[in-house]
Every structure is written in C-alpha cells, then in structure tokens.
C-alpha cells in the first residue's frame, strides 16, 4: 500500500483560506498530483485503509464536496496539533459518501440485512460509532476532475486513460488485497465494470473478487432514477453473498 502523502501536503493545507472554499481555492498547483489532457488529479487526505473491515464500499473518485470536507477536517486538525496519521483517518471518515448519497446507501444496506450480520442496529452506525467495520474508498483514490468538473467514469472511459489505469488498476487492486476479508460493494456500473476487469486480469495472486463482490449494486445518487429497480433485481443475490461471507461474523 502507498504511504500517506499528508506529510508532503500539510503545509499547503494549513495555508488554505479560512473562508468557504470555491473550486479555484482547492484546484490549485499546490495540491495538483498529475495531469493528462483534460484530466487533473488533486491531493486530498484519502490514504487511510482499514484492513480489519468486514465491508468495503467503493465509489469512482471523491468529488469536490468530499474533497472540501476532507481538507477542511485536515486543516482544522492541523491547527489543533493532531498527529498526521490520525488526521488522515479523521479526514477520510468525515468525507466518505457524505450527504444525501449516504442516506440512500444506508437504506439499501438495511434492506440487505447488513445490520443483523454485523450486529448493529442500523447501517448508519457504520459511518459513526462502528466505523471499524467498514472501509470506504474509490477506484481513483484522490479527487479527479475532467475540465474542472467531477469525473463521472465516462469521459474519458476509465481504461482508456493511462493516468486512471495507474490508480484504478494497480493501486486500487493492492488496496483491495489489504482488505482481503471484506465484502466489496461497488457503487454504480462503472465501478462494477472496473472490478470485473481487475478480476479478469488477476494482477494480484490468489484474488477472486467475484466471490466477495456485490456486482451491479446501484449507485446511491439521487440522480440515479433507476436506483430502486436496479436494487430489487439483484437484492436476493446480494443478500446471499453477504450471508455467505458475513454469516459467521462475531460481534467485536
């Protein structure tokens, strides 16, 4: 797994303005990681990995809202003198799938019976007091923008870009290996397609993603008008995978 980059960027983060942030405040050279044509990849504190997770939830890439939340948390924690390794974890926790998307996700996870399998009362606890049970990540770990807008996985297609392939295939595959006992929940078709590609290429010895992945789980965005129909089509299949992998889970 890659080491946290926070040590290289904490001074830039500390010097960010104290006012509300617009894109021009964060999409700056000081946080720029890489560029390729119309794609720009920026740093935000998303390196923390929870190897003990029972469930891993995967998006495409953090958007500007998530980037802002994670950097704000990091800036505040730097000012408070919190240890850098702890800042990484706290920033990621604060920003992961924040907003209405999290509410839709929690609702679907409840309907799959995940709380019972993990011995919690509601899936919302996984984003609060029981965060030790989940790992949240993205196939492209850091915020990626296309012409300044959130990258959605379509323009360009993920595997057509060398920049994206480096993060989405190589780095992401190693991250999945670090959470080897975790069920993987990909959010949306693009993430499922990428996971199928990784499963077919087998970049890591012994990995069998299809045995622990809820392929074609719908994206929880409110903009996904087919979310409920997609969820119902595979609900029973996804329940069976969760029960197979988590049925013997003991309360921590």
Q: If the chain, 252 residues long, is cut into consecutive pieces of 10 residues, what is the mean pLDDT of each piece?
A: 79 95 96 97 95 95 94 97 91 83 93 96 94 94 95 89 90 89 94 91 70 93 88 96 82 44
> How many C-beta neighbours within 10 Å does residue 197 have?
15
* pTM check: above 0.75: yes
Contact 142, 175 (CB under 8 A): no
The pLDDT value recorded for residue 180 is 87
The pLDDT value given to residue 85: 83
Quote the CA–CA distance of 22 and 10 in Å, as a whole number: 19
Cβ count within 10 A of residue 90: 19
**The pLDDT value given to residue 114:** 97
pLDDT value at position 199?
A: 87
What is the reported pLDDT for 1?
43
* Residues 6 or more apart whose Cβ sits within 8 Å of residue 187: 57, 58, 59, 60, 105, 217, 218, 219, 220
């Amino acid at each position: 797994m890659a080491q946290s980059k926070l040590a290289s960027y904490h001074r830039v983060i500390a010097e960010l303005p104290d006012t509300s942030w617009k894109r021009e405040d964060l999409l700056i050279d000081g946080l720029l990681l890489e560029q390729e044509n119309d794609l720009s990849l920026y740093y935000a504190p998303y390196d923390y990995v929870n190897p003990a997770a029972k469930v891993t939830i995967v998006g495409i890439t953090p958007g500007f809202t998530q980037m802002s939340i994670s950097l704000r948390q990091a800036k505040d924690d730097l000012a408070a003198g919190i240890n850098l390794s702890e800042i990484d974890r706290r920033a990621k926790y604060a920003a992961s799938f924040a907003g209405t998307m999290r509410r839709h996700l929690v609702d679907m996870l409840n309907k799959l019976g995940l709380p019972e399998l993990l011995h919690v009362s509601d899936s919302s606890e996984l984003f609060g007091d029981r965060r030790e049970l989940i790992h949240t990540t993205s196939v492209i770990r850091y915020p990626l923008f296309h012409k300044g807008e959130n990258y959605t996985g379509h323009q360009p297609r993920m595997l057509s870009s060398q920049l994206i392939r480096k993060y989405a295939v190589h780095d992401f595959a190693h991250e999945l290996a670090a959470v080897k006992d975790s069920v993987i929940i990909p959010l949306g078709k693009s993430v499922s397609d990428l996971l199928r590609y990784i499963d077919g290429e087998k970049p890591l010895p012994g990995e069998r993603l299809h045995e622990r992945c809820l392929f074609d789980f719908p994206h929880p965005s409110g903009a996904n008008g087919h979310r409920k129909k997609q969820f119902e089509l595979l609900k029973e299949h996804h329940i069976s995978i969760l029960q197979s992998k988590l049925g013997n889970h003991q309360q921590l």
